[in-house]
Structure 1
Amino acid sequence: MRRFAQTIRLRPEHREEYLALHSAVWPGVEAALHRARIRNYSIHLHDDVLFAYFEYHGEDFDADMADLEADPVTQEWWKLTDPCQEPWPDRGDSRQWTELAEIWHLGEPGEHAAD
């Protein structure tokens, strides 16, 4: 399992729209995320900064993300959510969100940080 953290800015003028969309995420979007082996996905908000966390439970992240990006329901969802977001200028090769490096993780008791 790999943990991912990401961030992006929320455009203030789209705040209510974005929150409304995420109060009832489409079942097809959730199904596509599950097919892509994404688990424990959450999005948090502070002022106009969004922070996302998810766990990937597959073996070929790039292939699973390609399948997710090709999913027609997900593409329709992104047509609504992408205009609400303002990517950070240093996002690199990321489609939209900037990935954050994990610098520390507290695991289960007895689990070592390197595990």
Structure 2
Amino acid sequence: MQRMGMMIGIAPEKIAEYKALHAAVWPQVLARLSEANVRNYTIFLREPENVLFGYWEYHGADFNADMGRIAADPETQRWWTFCGPCQVPLASRAEGEHWAMMEPVFHMD
């Protein structure tokens, strides 16, 4: 199992919309995440900085293939058309990233 953290900005005027979207995530999107071996997924909001922090645990053997299946899913792509306009990618993110991935430096069970 691999723990993964990521960050992205959020447009302040879109916070209520983003919260409403995530209060009722579409079942197909949740199913696709589960099929891609994503577990224990949580998104946190930090205001007034307007930053989202996402955490999940990846339980698969081929992360790139699993993420590719998520990205290829039409319903997930449609979901992103609603979420994407709310998000403000960090300028410091790596090439090809939307959410900026983070390095784990400590964990306690």
**TM-score, normalised to structure 1's length?**
0.90
Moved >2 Å (runs of 4+)? none
Q: Which residue of 1 aligns with 2:17?
A: 17
1:16 Cα offset (Å) = 1.0
Q: Which residue of 1 aligns with 2:36?
A: 36
Q: Which residue of 2 aligns with 1:104?
A: 106
Identity of aligned residues (%): 47
1:8 Cα offset (Å) = 0.5
Aligned residues: 107
With CA pairs under 8 Å and 6+ residues apart, which has the higher RCO, 1 or 2?
Answer: 2
Moved more, 29-38 or 94-103: 94-103
The aligned amino acid for 2:90 is W
- Paired residue for 2:77, among 75, 78, 87? 75
CA RMSD across the alignment:
0.8
1:23 Cα offset (Å) = 0.6
State which structure, 1 or 2, has the greater radius of gyration over its C-alpha atoms. 1
- What stretches of structure 2 of length at least 5 have no aligned partner? none
**TM-score, normalised to structure 2's length?**
0.95
